């Protein structure tokens, strides 16, 4: 080979290498919180759901109007008694370890979520009594009674499929290196810093995935997320502060993607007689606490009015939101009278919360408002993992909870207020509520369910095991030259169709 030819060959190789590097697009996404366990059976955080959107396909999903749409299941049918749901599965799907996705693996996943000691999906899937493999592409979920929310439940982590082979081999360590069937496969995780995933070449819809790699960076401070987005260090940042909306909208290099949300921020109250203190003992104190709050002012001061102030756990987007229980205004005189009626002088409260800018601002506003009624409030901000640990242990008097919401009311209301609910961490126990929740689960018609949830709402707003404050809008900031971002009411970043602009 002549020197000239050899030189040209080297240059050509360098150009190809450069082209390859240029085409290996990385999407850098900032998350507010570090997700918990990256196992759909165990996960319990909103940011975990964002990462799962990349890693773990679900049997079904929701669309922008909250309708149920196909994903790993392409069709479904109920029997006449509404006690059997038969799913037709997508063909040609494999898990990240190469094992096939089929009816047997669906059966293994549902049974794992129902039996795993650490599973948080047990209550969600408890109505499923048996999973029957009809053939490799057909599976039937059998129930002991009608369960209206089942399809909605399968749009979240209960419907996320992991490799049974990998789950069995990893045992308790599965969350450290999850193996699913989503568009991206797990690469690495650095606690409180980052999670990295890369495109799965054998994904069934790989042509619709526009990035080769996604880096999720944990940045709790919204100001830092914004500044790094402005500097070009990030491509997407979730939960842009409403106070920064005008800044992003005024920058031609950036774009806002947002949606009204299904979620709720609420003041969760410890109802246990042994640890809850006066709030657990006196319903009047809980009512006084609510009467001392001005939810509209909280929304205006903390969020520039960008969120939806409300007194219910379900968003007004839901047909199950009660129009007969409008949000009450602030009434300091009523609050003082209620406190006086209990005989508890200067009741002292402690509010625990994750030390984010948003929750910190809300906590301070609440502290100032309720002080006017006679409450003395101490604030306990904690790093996210420490706050969640206390929350899950029920070790709080008041806790600012942030629930990302679901399209169906059951995963919110049953989860928090059933005595067996996975998020019933405040010890609320009401037999009538349990009965109504069960009846609403088994009711097939929407009007019947609406009537049952109407009764339930009245009880909850009287007992006040929690005080809903507002429903957030999901606000993402992104580089303006990224195409295909669409935020739905569940607030998740779906990566199908997202790509760099040509």
In Å, what is the CA distance from 402 to each residue of 70, 93, 151, 305, 437?
28, 35, 24, 18, 22
Strand partners, 482: 500
**Which token pair is 344?**
């508890």
Q: Are residues 284 and 162 in the same domain?
A: no
Per-residue pLDDT at 1: 46
Q: Are residues 303 and 214 in the same domain?
A: no
Q: Are residues 439 and 380 in the same domain?
A: yes
Rounded to 5 degrees, φ, ψ at 478 are -150, 160
Residue-number span of the structural domain to which 337 is assigned: 264-471
Per-residue pLDDT at 24: 66
Q: Are residues 147 and 210 in the same domain?
A: no
**Which token pair is 383?**
């790093």
In Å, what is the CA distance from 27 to each residue of 24, 210, 234?
10, 9, 8
Q: Are residues 200 and 300 in the same domain?
A: no
Q: How many CB atoms lie within 10 A of CB 13?
A: 10
Residue that is last in its domain, among 122, 142, 170: 170
Distance CA 143, CA 60 (A): 18
Return the closest-CA partner of residue 432 out of 455, 466, 464, 415: 455
The count of C-alpha atoms lying within 13 angstroms of the C-alpha of 139, restricted to the half-sphere facing its C-beta, is 23
Q: Are residues 241 and 314 in the same domain?
A: no
Mean pLDDT by 10 residues, the chain (502 residues): 43 41 77 96 95 98 94 97 97 98 98 95 93 98 96 97 98 97 98 97 97 97 96 97 94 97 97 94 97 98 96 96 97 97 93 92 98 97 92 96 93 94 94 97 94 98 98 97 97 97 84
Q: Are residues 429 and 339 in the same domain?
A: yes
Q: Are residues 249 and 327 in the same domain?
A: no
| Cβ neighbours for 19, distance < 8 A, ≥ 6 positions apart | none
Residue that is last in its domain, among 170, 202, 227: 170
For residue 41, is it within any domain?
no
Distance CA 436, CA 459 (A): 10
Angle between helices 283-291 and 332-342 (to 10 degrees): 160
Per-residue pLDDT at 19: 39
The number of distinct structural domains making up the chain is 3
Domain containing residue 407: CATH number? 3.10.105.10
Q: Are residues 389 and 451 in the same domain?
A: yes
For residue 50, is it within any domain?
no
Per-residue pLDDT at 21: 39
For residue 112, is it within any domain?
yes
For residue 283, is it within any domain?
yes
Per-residue pLDDT at 346: 86
Per-residue pLDDT at 20: 37
Q: Are residues 310 and 400 in the same domain?
A: yes
**Which token pair is 71?**
């994903």
The CA-based diameter of the chain, rounded to the nearest angstrom, is 100
**Which token pair is 435?**
């009965």
Distance CA 499, CA 502 (A): 9
Rounded to 5 degrees, φ, ψ at 232 are 90, 5
Placement of tokens 């006690």 in the chain: 83
């Amino acid at each position: 080979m002549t020197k000239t030819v050899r030189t040209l060959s080297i240059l050509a190789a360098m150009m190809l290498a450069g082209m390859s590097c240029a085409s290996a697009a990385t999407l850098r996404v900032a998350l507010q919180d570090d997700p918990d366990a990256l196992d759909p059976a165990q996960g319990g955080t909103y940011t975990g759901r964002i990462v799962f959107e990349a890693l773990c396909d679900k049997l079904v999903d929701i669309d922008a109007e909250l309708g149920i749409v196909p994903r790993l299941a392409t069709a479904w049918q109920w029997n006449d008694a509404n006690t059997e749901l038969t799913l037709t599965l997508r063909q040609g799907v494999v898990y990240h370890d190469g094992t096939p996705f089929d009816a047997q693996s669906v059966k293994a996943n549902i049974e794992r979520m129902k039996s795993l000691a650490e599973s948080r999906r047990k209550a969600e899937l408890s109505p499923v009594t048996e999973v029957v493999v009809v053939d490799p592409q057909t599976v039937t979920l059998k129930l002991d009674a009608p369960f209206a929310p089942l399809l909605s439940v399968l749009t979240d982590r209960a419907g996320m499929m992991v490799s049974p082979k990998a789950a069995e081999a990893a045992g308790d360590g599965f969350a450290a290196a999850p193996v699913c069937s989503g568009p991206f496969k797990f690469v690495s995780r650095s606690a409180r810093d980052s999670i990295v995933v890369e495109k799965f070449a054998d994904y069934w819809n790989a042509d619709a995935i526009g990035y080769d790699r996604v880096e999720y960076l944990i940045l709790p401070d919204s100001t830092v997320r914004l500044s790094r987005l402005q500097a070009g260090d990030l491509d997407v940042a979730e939960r842009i502060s409403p106070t920064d909306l005008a800044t992003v909208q005024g920058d031609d290099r950036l774009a806002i993607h947002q949606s009204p949300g299904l979620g709720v921020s609420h003041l969760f109250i410890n109802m246990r007689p042994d640890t809850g203190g006066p709030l657990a003992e006196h319903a009047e104190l809980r009512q006084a606490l609510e009467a001392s709050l001005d939810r509209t002012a909280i929304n205006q001061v903390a969020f520039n009015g960008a969120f939806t102030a409300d007194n219910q756990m379900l968003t007004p987007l839901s047909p199950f939101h009660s129009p007969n229980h409008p949000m009450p205004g602030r009434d300091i005189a009523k609050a003082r009278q209620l406190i006086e009626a209990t005989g508890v002088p200067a009741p002292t409260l402690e509010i625990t919360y994750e030390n984010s800018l948003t929750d910190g601002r809300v906590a301070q506003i609440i502290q100032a408002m309720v002080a006017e009624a006679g409450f003395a409030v101490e604030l306990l901000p904690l790093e996210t993992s420490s706050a969640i640990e206390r929350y899950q242990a029920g070790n709080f008097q008041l806790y600012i909870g942030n629930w990302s919401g679901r399209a169906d009311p059951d995963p919110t209301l049953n989860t928090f207020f059933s005595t067996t609910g996975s998020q019933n961490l405040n010890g609320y126990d009401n037999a009538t509520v349990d009965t109504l929740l069960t009846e609403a689960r088994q009711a097939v018609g929407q009007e019947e369910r609406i009537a049952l949830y109407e009764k339930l709402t009245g009880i909850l707003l009287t007992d006040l095991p929690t005080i809903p404050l507002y429903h957030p809008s999901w606000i993402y900031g992104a580089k303006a030259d990224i195409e295909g971002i669409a935020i739905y009411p569940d607030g998740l970043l779906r990566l199908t169709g997202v790509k760099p602009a040509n």
